[in-house]
């Protein structure tokens, strides 16, 4: 009888395990190309640190893909921003206009160089910098604007470039989330003085950890390369003529990046197709999506939805979590965080969107079956 009882328990456990749905993560990298082959080549050759042919090969391929003259690999996207501001000689006493609706690295880099971030609001449809509101923020201390292409939709770089030229301001593009995005046929990152990318594990093209600084200006590229290698004077051994940083990318990371670039068009297309599927299957629900502006090619790093308020968002996230579907909230406004909070700063569009939005699973390998499961779960919440 006891043996029969144990058999029944095992059957019950097996039934429960079968009933549990597999987890759908909000993101995971696609490493199904030559990543392992190239990494093994690094291991076999023993070139695993910042020396090795994959570093220069990745830089050349990235410059070609993004239509930039110079591309310099670095250890992550945050240091890419830090180096970009250093190369532009932005420092204490300077003000830099930046969206509050961004990942915090875009703002922290401004503080790293001793400058002051000036927070700007965003457009309600595209969620990008509202250029019409920037003029009132410009004064004699304003040195630069950082345009952050949030979730893969480009900022209005044509208007921003014109504004920067009119006011003799430097222009930086944070393209961490926008690999593959374009305005007309021109890739983001090519409208500014200098631009940066991130290759963290959840980016469309990943190296695990890594970043890139791109520019059309040879003198800026030379500064970046000088600074990222401990300020080593070119042509001399162990002689450093400025305070520099160890911000180099490893050969292993570059090997992964090169393999990713080989499949970049396919990866971007999968993200774009995913966004179309979400929009089709969620049509008719009380949700809002990021709206694509004319002349823009959106790479859809993350597909996001807006609901009516924070309470509804949190309830929907819990509902999806109970169905083993991972989501994440949109970026919290940086101007509300303790180290940046100023009582007189009010950015109504930023605050509204940040409080109502969430990212759905957005990696290239999300299958049609997964999309249906996610969308059915969202429909069941509203029923």
User: Is 118's pLDDT higher than 70?
Assistant: yes
Alpha-carbon span 156 to 161, nearest angstrom: 9
Sheet with strand 70-74: strands edge to edge: 70-74, 211-215, 194-198, 170-174, 142-148, 95-99, 116-120
What residue ranges do the domains of the chain occupy? 35-262, 264-382
pLDDT band at 322 (very low <50, low <70, confident <90, very high): very high
User: Is 12's pLDDT higher than 60?
Assistant: no
CA atoms within 13 A on the CB side of 100: 27
pLDDT band at 16 (very low <50, low <70, confident <90, very high): very low
Three-state DSSP state, 185:
coil
Alpha-carbon span 236 to 198, nearest angstrom: 31
Mutual angle of helices 310-322 and 348-356, in 10-degree steps = 20
Fold classified for 35-262? 3.40.640
281 is written with which tokens? 């299957």
Backbone CA torsion sign across 89, 92, 97, 103: positive
Alpha-carbon span 204 to 135, nearest angstrom: 33
Q: Name the more confident of 168 and 16.
A: 168
Q: Dihedral angle at the C-alpha atoms of 151, 156, 344, 88, nearest 10 degrees?
A: 90
What is the percent of the chain with per-residue pLDDT over 70, rounded to a whole number?
95
Q: What is residue 19's predicted lDDT score, i.e. its pLDDT?
A: 54
151 is written with which tokens? 């979730």
Alpha-carbon span 267 to 307, nearest angstrom: 28
Residue-averaged pLDDT of the chain: 94
pTM tops 0.85: yes
Q: What is residue 49's predicted lDDT score, i.e. its pLDDT?
A: 87
Return all residues near 217 (Cβ < 8 A) that are at least 6 apart.
69, 70, 193, 194
Tell me the per-residue pLDDT of 208-243, one tens digit each, with 9 for 90 and over: 999 999 999 999 999 999 999 999 999 999 999 999
Q: What are phi and psi for residue 183, nearest 5 degrees?
A: -115, 115
Best CATH choice for the domain 264-382 from the list 3.30.2130.10, 1.10.10.60, 3.90.1150.10, 3.60.110.10: 3.90.1150.10
């Amino acid at each position: 009888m006891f043996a029969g009882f144990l058999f029944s328990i095992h059957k019950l456990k097996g039934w429960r395990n079968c009933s549990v749905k597999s987890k759908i993560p909000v993101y995971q990298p696609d490493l199904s190309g030559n990543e392992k082959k190239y990494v093994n080549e690094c291991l076999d050759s023993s070139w695993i640190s910042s020396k090795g042919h994959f570093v220069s090969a990745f830089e050349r391929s990235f410059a070609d893909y993004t239509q930039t003259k110079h591309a310099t690999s670095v250890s992550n996207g945050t240091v890419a921003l830090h180096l970009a501001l250093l190369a532009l000689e932005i420092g204490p006493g300077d003000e830099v206009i930046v969206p509050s609706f961004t990942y915090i690295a875009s703002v922290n880099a401004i503080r790293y160089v001793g400058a002051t971030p000036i927070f700007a609001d965003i457009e309600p449809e595209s969620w990008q910098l509202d250029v019409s509101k920037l003029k009132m923020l410009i004064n004699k201390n304003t040195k630069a604007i950082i345009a952050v292409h949030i979730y893969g939709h480009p900022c209005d770089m044509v208007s921003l470039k014109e504004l920067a030229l009119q006011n003799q301001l430097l222009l930086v593009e944070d393209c961490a989330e926008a690999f593959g995005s374009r305005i007309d046929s021109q890739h983001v990152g090519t409208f500014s003085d200098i631009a940066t990318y991130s290759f963290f594990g959840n980016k469309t093209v990943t190296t695990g950890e890594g970043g890139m600084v791109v520019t059309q200006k040879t003198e800026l590229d030379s500064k970046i390369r000088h600074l990222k290698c401990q300020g080593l004077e070119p042509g001399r051994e162990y002689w450093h003529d400025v305070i520099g940083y160890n911000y180099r990318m490893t050969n292993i990371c570059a090997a992964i990046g090169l393999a990713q670039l080989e499949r970049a068009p396919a990866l971007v297309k999968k993200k774009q197709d995913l966004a179309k599927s979400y929009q089709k299957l969620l049509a008719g629900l009380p949700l809002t999506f990021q709206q694509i502006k004319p002349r823009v090619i959106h790479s859809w790093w993350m597909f996001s939805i807006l609901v009516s308020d924070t309470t509804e968002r949190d309830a929907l996230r819990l509902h999806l979590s109970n169905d083993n579907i991972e989501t994440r909230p949109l970026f919290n406004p940086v101007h509300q965080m303790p180290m940046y909070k100023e009582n007189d700063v009010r950015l109504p569009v930023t605050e509204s969107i940040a409080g109502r939005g969430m990212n759905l699973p957005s990696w290239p390998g999300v299958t049609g079956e997964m999309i249906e499961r996610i969308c059915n779960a969202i429909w069941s919440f509203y029923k």
